[in-house]
Chains A and B, each alone.
Chain A
Amino acid sequence: MLYLLINSAEAAWLPVAATDLAKEVDQLIYFLLEISVLASILVIGGFVYFSIRFRRKSEADKPPAITHHYLLEFLWSFIPFVIFMFVFGWGWLVYDKMRDHPKNALEIHVYGQMWNWDFVYKNGRKSSRVLTVPVDKPVKLIMSSRDVIHSFFIPSFRIKQDVLPGSYTALSFTARKKGKFPVFCAEFCGAGHSSMLATVHVMGLREWEEWLVKDPYKGMSISQIGESVFQKSCTACHTATQEKRIGPGLAGLFGAKREFEKGGSLVVDENYIRESILNPSARVVKGYGNMMTPFAGLLQEEEMTGLIEYIKSLKIEQKDK
Chain B
Amino acid sequence: MSVNYLNEKKGLTSWLFTLDHKRIGILYMITVFTFFLVGGVFALLMRLELFGAGETFIPASVYNQFMTFHGAIMVFMVIIPGIPAFLGNFFLPLQIGAKDVAFPRVNLLSWYCLIVGSIVALCSLFFNGVDTGWTFYTPYSIRTDNGTLWVVLGAFIMGFSSILTGLNFIVTVHTLRAKGMGFFQLPLFVWSLYSTAIIQVLATPVLAITLLLLSAERIMGIGIFDPKLGGDPVLFQHFFWFYSHPAVYIMILPAMGVISELITTFSRKTIFGYKAIAFSSVGIAAVSFFVWGHHMFVSGQSEWVGVLFSFLTMLVGVPTAIKVFNWVATMYQGSIKFDTPMLYANGFLFLFVIGGVTGIMLATLAFDVHVHDTYFVVAHFHYVMVGGTLMAITGGLYYWLPKMFGRMYNEFWGRISFFLIFVGFNVTFFPQFILGFMGMPRRYHDYVPAYEPLNQLSTFGSWMIGLGFVVVFFVVLQALFKGEKASSNPWGAVTLEWQTDSPPPHENFHKTPVVGKNPYEYS
Contact = CB atoms under 8 A, between A and B. Distances in A.
A155 B328 contact: no
Contacts of B333: 54, 63-64, 66
Given A63-B269, A165-B139, A191 B61 contact: yes
Interface string A126-162: 0000000000000000000001110101010011111
A164 B227 contact: yes
Interface string B440-464: 0111111111110000000000000
A139 to B, nearest CB: 17
A103 B300 CA distance: 20
A80 B317 contact: yes
Nearest to A87: B364
Nearest to A41: B353
B99 interface: no
Contacts of A29: 367, 370, 437
Contact of A194 (B228, B324, B373, B447): B447
Contact size range, A: 35 or more
A166 B142 CA distance: 15
Contact of B364 (A9, A91, A162): A91
Contacts, number: 282
A6 B439 CA distance: 14
B300 A164 contact: yes
B270 interface: yes
A153 B331 CA distance: 45
Q: Indicate the member of B322, B353, B358 with the most A CB atoms within 10 Å.
A: B353
Interface in A160-183: 160-162, 164-167, 169, 182
A129 to B, nearest CB: 15
Contact of B299 (A51, A55, A65, A162): A162
Interface stretch (A94-102, A104-112, A212-220): A94-102
A85 B318 CA distance: 11
A184 B137 CA distance: 19
B448 A3 contact: yes
What's the dominant secondary structure at chain B's contact region? helix
Interface stretch (B244-252, B306-314, B396-404, B502-510): B306-314
B515 to A, nearest CB: 17
A186 B370 contact: no
Is the contact region of chain A dominated by helix, strand, or loop, or is it mixed?
mixed
Interface string B131-151: 111000111100111000000
Contacts of A96: 303
- Indicate the member of A54, A96, A289 with the most B CB atoms within 10 Å: A54
Given A95-B366, A190-B131, A191-B64, A50 B331 contact: yes
Interface of B: 53-54, 59-61, 64, 131-133, 137-140, 143-145, 227-228, 232-234, 267-270, 272-276, 297-300, 303, 306-307, 310-311, 314-315, 317-318, 321-322, 324-325, 327-329, 331-338, 346, 349-350, 353-354, 357-358, 360-361, 363-370, 372-374, 434, 437-439, 441-451, 521-523
15 contacts: A9-B451, A29-B367, A43-B325, A44-B349, A50-B332, A61-B268, A81-B318, A84-B314, A87-B364, A88-B310, A160-B298, A165-B227, A167-B300, A169-B300, A187-B373
